Structure formats: structure tokens, C-alpha cells
């Protein structure tokens, strides 16, 4: 049996741009991708804290330490610049893996950077 668990999450990121005329996806700062364990082209769910909108898209890389969280293409209709969103990736695990797996949770500051501990 396979179960689906949260693999990684970026909490309360601020949308830095919503570009309807760009390639559809979400651009995420490379440092945040690494911290959350997200892969390029990986499917992610986006939860807009401001509006309650929930939608899926795929990840593209933005420059490391840029703080970029850009929604592109059709996804740009579901959030505005400044909206707080949570970005989640899921993965399938067998039952034994699921019992020991620990997801990566990344909390960011207002500039979408990982604050020091």
C-alpha cells in the first residue's frame, strides 16, 4: 500500500510577482527550493492564505537568495503581489517509509528569506 504525505512546505511566502503573460508555473528562489527539497518541474500545491484559493502548478528555479516567489501564466490569476501563500509538495511512500519520514518545513520572513535560527 502507498500513502501520500507532505514531502516539503514553504510557509507564508509573499508573492513577489504575478505575471499572466509568462510561462505557467511558480518561480521559487533556489535557496528555498533546496531547503524545502523541491525539484525543478515538480508539481506543487499552492494555498493562498489571503483568498483561500488552492491550485497546482510546477516549479521553476529563480536565482538563489533573490527572495523570488513569482506566479506565472494562469496561476497569476489566483494570487496578487503581496499575497501570503503556502507551497506544498507531496510524495508517495510505502507504509514503512511513511512511519519514519520527516518532511522539510521552511518558514520565511517578509522578504522570503530563511531567518537565522
- What residues are labeled active site? 25, 58
Look at phi and psi of residue 77 and say left if phi exceeds 0, alpha if psi is from -120 to 50, else beta.
alpha
Give bridge partners of residue 60 from the DSSP assignment.
Answer: 27
Closest CA to 112 of 44, 14, 46, 30: 14
Spatial contact of 22 and 64, defined as CB atoms under 8 Å apart: no
Amino acid at each position: 500500500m502507498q500513502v501520500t504525505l507532505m514531502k516539503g512546505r514553504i510557509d507564508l511566502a509573499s508573492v513577489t510577482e504575478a505575471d499572466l503573460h509568462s510561462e505557467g508555473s511558480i518561480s521559487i528562489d533556489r535557496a528555498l527550493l533546496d531547503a524545502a527539497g523541491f525539484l525543478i518541474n515538480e508539481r506543487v500545491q499552492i494555498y493562498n492564505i489571503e483568498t483561500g484559493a488552492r491550485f497546482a502548478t510546477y516549479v521553476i528555479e529563480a536565482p538563489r537568495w533573490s527572495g523570488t516567489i513569482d506566479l506565472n501564466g494562469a496561476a497569476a490569476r489566483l494570487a496578487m503581489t503581496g499575497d501570503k501563500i503556502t507551497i506544498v509538495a507531496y510524495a508517495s511512500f510505502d507504509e514503512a517509509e511513511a512511519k519514519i519520514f520527516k518532511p522539510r518545513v521552511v518558514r520565511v520572513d517578509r522578504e522570503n528569506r530563511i531567518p537565522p535560527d
